[in-house]
Amino acid sequence: MITRKAKQFEHTLSRRSLLLAGGQVALTSALVGRLFYLQIMESSRYEALSNRNRFDYKMLPPSRGRIFDSKGRLLAGNAEAYALNIVPSYTKDLYQSLRALSELIKLDHLYIDELMEKAEKQPSYLPLIIRDDLTQREVARVVVRGPELPGVSFDRIEKRIYPQGLLTGHLTGYVGRVSEDDITSGRVLPNMVNMQNGKSGVERALEEELRGLPGQERVLVNALGRPIKKSIEEAATPGTDIKLTIDINLQSYATSILRRGRNKPISYSDPKVQRALAADPELASAVSETEGFVFEDSLGRVVPPETGSIVVIDIETGALKTIVSTPTFDPNILSRRISNADWGTLVNHPRIPLLDRSIKGQYAPGSTFKMIVALAALEAGIINEKTRFFCSGHKDVGNARFHCWFKYGHGNVNVINALEQSCDVFFYELALKTGIQRIASMAKIFGIGLPTDVLIPGEKPGLMPDKKWKEQNIGQVWTPGETVVASIGQGYVLTTPIQLAVMMARLANGKFQISPQLKQGTPAPDAPEIGVSEASLSIIRRGMEAVLDGKKGTARNYQLDLDGVKMAGKTGTVQVKRITKAERDRGIVDNMDRPWKLRDHALFVGYAPMDKPKYAIAVVVEHGGSGSSAAAPVARDIMTYLFEQNL
């Protein structure tokens, strides 16, 4: 007979057996379900992972070609660095992986969002570059946490460096990551998405030569994307090294002379400087403690470096010896992911350092244009060397009165006297007799209003107006008063500093319409002949010689102090805004009394030596005041350096 206790035991045992059996069924079902999911539903995914578990293919970026100056000094090169990559397909959650990395290296939330957007636009099996400027300490942090970060790997890469920094910002330009626009425009192929390409300057202009051809590397990886073994399938072809015509020592000297102008250097830490910066936010944004360029002007005011451009060109070959624009920027900053603070400093700078004034700054040429007007008249037979006009200090045309810069007048002057003293009334008379069409035709022979096609991208064409231009663009007829204004290089006439240098080189050369050359070893194109008589050119040159050697020359205080080497040239002062009667009543009678943006531009063009011209120069000091006192001494110092250093 079964006892009650035995029955209870049997019941408990049956229940346990049932539970155990049920558990076994559930477990078996889960296993079968999981196997079905893995083998049937996810078979394609794991097949792909299995394939990638064997090997992966990776693009090998080529070593970018270097850029040198004419003496072989490095302007742009490469340095070893570490890049941190992540393959999105190897991560469970890319966003969370990036968040985890942000605890180890510098990655702000905005940049993480940028990386997520970039990841969406490329295949998930392609490596996504997170940072390419890691420090050794950051590398060590990530390596320690490596097992927790699937798909993360390092590459030894080359980063672009610019040893000359600020001296070559506009010249070399800078590189950056390939953008969507680069790919859609066809400038680069989609497989080059993780390479750098030129964004401005020579880096952009010669991108195809500098870039080289990428290679291919086969990488044996495990299922977590960790590299196990690497082998090169196809070696990368390095880019071509480039040599420029620029002399970096001259570039450095010219930049320092232009920045200083007529001012005296003063220490950034000087209490006077600190008080001025605190009182003037615009001044504070225009100077930099890291650059260390702060000056004191003739009135004792703290001022930033001068703004402008210098171009020096070989008059026989067209080789550019220096091409300077100030203020400038450091291409090293723009070649990496720039911080918001650094970018803000650049774009908010009141004097626009990103603008290359040498090729993009368009200025009225002022009196430096007078040689063109005189040549047009001489070649048309309207005047000769002996022709004289009387300057009383003004010229009336219709109901308008046009003044000479010298209100008392220059008296009877010929073309040589008029160039020496920069007599405006002489050129008013000359232009009215010659006509704007002849003047415009002569200007174009000497490169005014036409792009020079120099190597640096983004060149502006300037403007040489004529009757047809005004009718097409403004819908009005040309007036005599506009001819008068154009005769002294104002009104609609616009040039760039490089155009002014080309004009001067052609005047000094006298034979060919040479063009500027920036890449050394490039065959100069066959230049057409100028087609202007040597007799006319000789008269113009004698006028420019008198500017520096004549008793009344506007630059008579700035002749070169060198044995056997003299400079010829022409000053120019371009009015930005007239000094009004109200300003005169307040005692403002000089440019230096006015706010910087309202002062006249100062220009000088010249060549040296006088007897056997070798180099031509153009100097523009933006809002510098007088061409005689602000631009001519800059040209003198640079020409002196050129010949003393035998460059």
Sign of torsion over alpha carbons 582, 586, 591, 594 = negative
Residue 13, pLDDT above cutoff 60: no
- Reported as a pLDDT band with limits 50, 70 and 90, residue 613 is very high
Phi and psi angles of residue 484, each rounded to the nearest 5 degrees, phi first: -60, -45
Phi and psi angles of residue 279, each rounded to the nearest 5 degrees, phi first: -85, -20
Q: Where in the chain is the domain with CATH 3.90.1310.10?
A: 56-243
* 180 or 398, higher pLDDT: 398
Report the pLDDT value the prediction gives residue 506, as an integer from 0 to 100: 98
Single-letter amino acid, residue 238: P
Single-letter amino acid, residue 534: E
Mean pLDDT for 157-186 is 87
Q: Is 380:192 a contact under the CB 8 Å cutoff? A: no
Contacts 24+ apart (CB under 8 A), 28-33: none
Q: Is 358:171 a contact under the CB 8 Å cutoff? A: no
Pick from 359, 356, 324, 312: which is nearest to 618 by CA? 312
Residue 470, pLDDT above cutoff 60: yes
- Reported as a pLDDT band with limits 50, 70 and 90, residue 297 is very high
Mean pLDDT for 496-515 is 97
Q: How many CB atoms lie within 10 A of CB 354?
A: 15
**323-335 confidence digits (pLDDT tens):** 999 999 999 999 8
Phi and psi angles of residue 603, each rounded to the nearest 5 degrees, phi first: -130, 155
Q: Is 389:425 a contact under the CB 8 Å cutoff? A: yes
CATH number of the structural domain 56-243: 3.90.1310.10
* pTM metric for this prediction: 0.86
Residues with Cβ within 8 Å of 594's Cβ and at least 6 positions away in sequence, in order, are: 579, 583, 588
Residue 38, pLDDT above cutoff 80: no
Interatomic CA distance for residues 206 and 228, integer angstroms? 38
Report the pLDDT value the prediction gives residue 195, as an integer from 0 to 100: 75
Pick from 297, 212, 313, 294: which is nearest to 524 by CA? 313
Instruction: Supply the mean pLDDT for the chain.
Output: 88
Tokens of 232: 């090169």
Interatomic CA distance for residues 548 and 498, integer angstroms? 22
Choose the weakest-confidence range: 3-12, 30-39, 114-123, 457-466: 3-12
Q: Where in the chain is the domain with CATH 3.40.710.10?
A: 310-644
Interatomic CA distance for residues 570 and 156, integer angstroms? 55
Mean pLDDT for 6-12 is 57
Tokens of 617: 């120069």
**395-430 confidence digits (pLDDT tens):** 999 999 999 999 999 999 999 999 999 999 999 999
Sign of torsion over alpha carbons 552, 554, 558, 559 = negative
CATH number of the structural domain 310-644: 3.40.710.10
Interatomic CA distance for residues 186 and 408, integer angstroms? 63
Report the pLDDT value the prediction gives residue 192, as an integer from 0 to 100: 62
Interatomic CA distance for residues 436 and 561, integer angstroms? 39
- Residue 296 gets which letter from DSSP? E
Residue 564, pLDDT above cutoff 70: yes
Pairing mode, if any, of strands 67-68 and 242-243?
A: parallel
**134-160 confidence digits (pLDDT tens):** 878 888 888 888 888 888 888 788 899
Choose the weakest-confidence range: 6-15, 415-424, 441-450: 6-15
Place of tokens 């220009």: 603
Q: How many CB atoms lie within 10 A of CB 264?
A: 10
Pick from 634, 643, 629: which is nearest to 555 by CA? 629
Residue 373, pLDDT above cutoff 90: yes
Sign of torsion over alpha carbons 552, 555, 560, 566 = negative
Choose the weakest-confidence range: 73-77, 246-250, 454-458, 586-590: 586-590
Q: How many CA atoms lie within 13 A of 341 on its CB side?
A: 0
Interatomic CA distance for residues 325 and 171, integer angstroms? 9
Residue 9, pLDDT above cutoff 70: no
Q: Is 243:520 a contact under the CB 8 Å cutoff? A: yes
